[in-house]
Amino acid sequence: MPHAVTSDKVRLYFEETGQGTPIIFLHEFAADHTNWEPQMRYFSRGHRCISYSARGYTPSDVPSGEVYSYKHFYTDALAVLDHLGIGKAHFVGLSMGAYSSLQIGLNAPQRALSMTLAGVGSGSELDNLEAWRKQCRANAEQFDTLGSAEVAKVTREAPSRIPFLVKDPRGHADFYAALARHNSKGSANTMRGFQGGRPSIYTMTEAIRKVPTPALIICGDEDDPCVEPSLFLKKHLPAAGLAMFPKSGHVLNLEEPALFNETVERFVTLVEAGRWPVRDPRSVAAN
């Protein structure tokens, strides 16, 4: 099995296929590298595509200790690129992976050709931040005490997952069967460290305004926790575009794979043609 090794000696399992400009896919909390299969198959026709399982997600290592911060996760993505000798890539992230992709734009913009931020920003509301973190700690405790299979049963009908269930019951069932097989200790550590410890995007306004990286924000219009953060990022990222998927929830790449692929492909094509500039100041309405 191919693995990249991080600076703290964690081995990350990855897969790659295709040739051309690199695209790296970063998965969400409830997923792993396998959930990008529709995109790996589609985009590898014209690009070198890489997906990997984050630390805590087998067949990557499940390390012990306080090594699951958001900083670990975004630098892990860079470690995969370093292992493959890739200087720059298009970053395509969903949820947790979108947050990490944004951190690349903030902290290592020279590594990002573009960033696709799908289902981004849940848990960012400052008024509810402590409640969110408390819930993350409780969720981590569930993984520790009940195990992944039982947690999958509890979470499979979360509000933002219902559109997926309604459209594609078979795909939804496969998704949660995969979650049930996740390493419960890795999921608990990720829930505590990354999900419950990451800073709100609303605390990064000034830094976000300085990010020139071409960005595509994708949000499902029934993914309520991500709608306002997506609008916030559209407002403040200088070179951002926003795509809202109708009647859609959180798992956008699996719930609407054809629309997702088409939208991201158009974005990447325009970026590579130099046709995705920062917003023209003349298009901004006066207050």
Classify residue 179: in a domain, yes or no.
Answer: no
Classify residue 285: in a domain, yes or no.
Answer: no
pLDDT in the model for residue 194? 98
The model's pTM is 0.97
- Whether the bond between 59 and the residue before it is cis, its omega within 30 degrees of 0, is yes
Q: In what order do the strands lie in the sheet with 11-17?
A: 3-5, 11-17, 48-52, 22-26, 89-94, 112-118, 215-220, 240-245
Classify residue 131: in a domain, yes or no.
Answer: no
- The residue segments making up the domain with residue 12 are 3-124+200-276
Classify residue 181: in a domain, yes or no.
Answer: no
Classify residue 188: in a domain, yes or no.
Answer: no
Q: What is the CATH number of the domain that holds 225?
A: 3.40.50.1820
pLDDT in the model for residue 218? 98
pLDDT in the model for residue 96? 98
* Total domains, the chain: 1
| Regions of the chain with pLDDT less than 70 | 287
pLDDT in the model for residue 137? 97
Q: Are the CB atoms for 151 and 139 separated by under 8 Å? A: yes
pLDDT in the model for residue 117? 99
Classify residue 112: in a domain, yes or no.
Answer: yes
pLDDT in the model for residue 287? 63
